[in-house]
Amino acid sequence: MSKISVGILGATGSVGQKFIELLQNHPDFEITALAASSRSAGKTYQDAVNWFMATPIPEHVRNMKVSTCEPNLDCKIVFSGLDASVAGEIETAFAKAGYIVVSNSRNHRFDADVPLIVPEINPEQLSLTKKQAYGKGCIITNPNCSTIGLVMALKPLLDNFGLESVNVVTLQALSGAGYPGISSLDIIDNVLPYIKNEEEKMETEPYKILGTKDFKISATCNRVAVIDGHTECVAVKLKNKARKEDIIKAWQEFRGKPQELNLPTAPLKPIHYFSEDNFPQPKLHRNLDKGMAVSIGRLRPCPILDYKFTILSHNTIRGAAGGAILNAELFINKIS
Ligand code: NAP
């Protein structure tokens, strides 16, 4: 079977580069188009990009011409890693022109007819695309990079014990701020206690993904000098009593549609629980299971709420490009 042609909008950015790295040798998708701003358009990809992935630029992409983000690209699906200041209108234009738009940007996440998907949690929300007025095109979104680790940890708790309240404090990696991102003088020897719009996203997106507003979330977001991998310190109050071993079992047994369908980008186990006192750590665990697994550790009683624990997930893989590719794999599986 021939592969499905895909384009990348925002191909030169932090997320765009990760798309290119993850899509090389993909069994179902083949990159046939790259697009970015007018600063990059007209150049070959290698001239336009400041490549900072650990692997070299894939050979077939190196000399591909970068286009502007007009809906005339030679592809069926577009993955969007566009800056949020422009993503909304560009993604709408592509959907109207019949493209399947799989986006990382925040702009359409709360449109009533746009699915906000974590495939292990709410694959059924994909059916919202049928309500969209884009003809053959559609828009599918994935959540903010910190939301994704949080909801993966919360879903088994919600299903097994019920949730009353969640307090989360993040330690977020630099690649989450895009490229070139934060100046070195601002972040070395420092922690930045504010990330614009981040707390609002963490306090709203879980409700759309988990399908309930029946619990409270309070989020505090910090930027730290880690390159990749968001850490989150979470405390939860549960509706029903739970033993520590029951919670760990619920996390360890958690599986979803991507595992059932054996999708190419799916982690074998979506959640890995570590019993070591000093795990998870970004440097050691962010690439676990292709960078698609969420690591959890340090589950212990909380004197204020019921339990507290630490989460780690890769922000540009599970939290962005990898999550979007998994969404597209789920979508083509559902419609084929
Ligand atoms: P980034 O590194 O700043 O990249 C932004 C991309 O958008 C670049 O390719 C840039 O092209 C393009 N762009 C900027 N202005 C444009 C315009 N006027 N027209 C067309 N293209 C334009 O940002 P990023 O970190 O990759 O994030 C991309 C999106 O994903 C954002 O919406 C972000 O919120 C979201 N996201 C990021 C992460 C993460 O961990 N980084 C995680 C989840 C979601 P040029 O190079 O030509 O300027």
69 a catalytic residue? no
Confidence at residue 209, expressed as pLDDT on a 0 to 100 scale: 98
The confidence score (pLDDT) of residue 335 equals: 66
- If one counts every other C-beta atom within 10 angstroms of the C-beta of residue 336, the result is 8
Q: Is 231 in the pocket of ligand 1 (CB under 6 A)?
A: no
CA 277 to ligand 1 centroid distance, Å: 36
**Position in ligand 1 atom list of the atom nearest CA 18:** 26
Which ligand 1 atom lies nearest to the CA of residue 12? 9
Pocket test for ligand 1, best of 82, 102, 314 (most atoms within 8 A of CB): 82
Mapped to the 3 state alphabet, what secondary structure does 231-274 carry?
EEEEEEEECCCCCHHHHHHHHHHCCCHHHHCCCCCCCCCCEEEE
Mutate which of 8, 9, 12, 15 for ligand 1 pocket (most atoms within 8 A of beta carbon): 15
Q: Is the CB of 114 under 6 A from ligand 1?
A: no
> Which residues sit opposite 77 in a β-bridge?
6, 100
Q: Torsions phi, psi of 238, nearest 5? A: -100, 155
**Distance (Å) of CA 197 to CA 201, 204, 236, 237:** 6, 11, 23, 25
The pLDDT score that the predictor gives to residue 336 is 56
| Backbone torsions φ then ψ of 199, nearest 5 degrees | -65, -40
Query: Does the CB atom of residue 42 touch ligand 1 within 6 A?
Result: no
Residue 295 alpha carbon to ligand 1 centre in Å: 26
Decide if 79 contacts 102 (C-beta within 8 A).
yes
Tokens describing residue 200: 């609002």
Residue found under tokens 């980008």: 265
The burial class, CB within 10 Å (0-12 / 13-18 / 19+), for 262 is exposed
For residues 14 and 85, the answer to whether their CB atoms sit within 8 Å is: no
Instruction: Residue 296: name the closest of 132, 127, 150 by CA.
Output: 150
Angstrom distance (rounded) from CA 277 to CA 297? 8
Ligand 1 proximity of 16 Cβ (cutoff 6 Å): yes
Q: Out of 230, 272, 285, 314, which one is annotated catalytic?
A: 230
3-state secondary structure at position 59? helix
Query: Strand locations in 88-215, DSSP E?
Result: 100-103, 138-141, 163-172
The Å distance, Cα 77 to ligand 1 centre, comes to 18
- Would you give the end-to-end CA distance of the chain in angstroms? 12
At the fourth CATH level, the homologous superfamily of domain 4-144+321-335 is NAD(P)-binding Rossmann-like Domain (3.40.50.720)
CA atoms in the 13 A half-sphere facing the CB of 214: 10
- Calpha distance 310→103 (Å, rounded): 28
Query: In Å, how far from its chain's centre is CA 156?
Result: 19
Q: Where in the chain are the domains?
A: 4-144+321-335, 145-314
Entry pTM: 0.97
CB 29 within 8 A of CB 23: yes
- 221 among known catalytic residues: no
Locate tokens 């340090």: which residue? 298
Token couple for 228: 């990749």
- Beta carbon of 143 within 6 Å of any ligand 1 atom: no
Question: Which ranges of the chain have pLDDT less than 70?
Answer: 335-336
Encode pLDDT of 164-214 as tens digits: 999 999 999 999 999 899 999 999 999 999 999 999 999 999 999 999 999
Distance separating alpha carbons of residues 131 and 13, to the nearest angstrom: 31
Compute the distance from residue 91 Cα to the ligand 1 centre, in Å.
Answer: 13
Q: Which residues of 308-335 are buried (b: 16+ CB within 10 A; e: fewer)?
A: bbbbbbbbbbbbbbbbbbbbbbbbebee
CATH match of 145-314 with 3.30.365.10: no
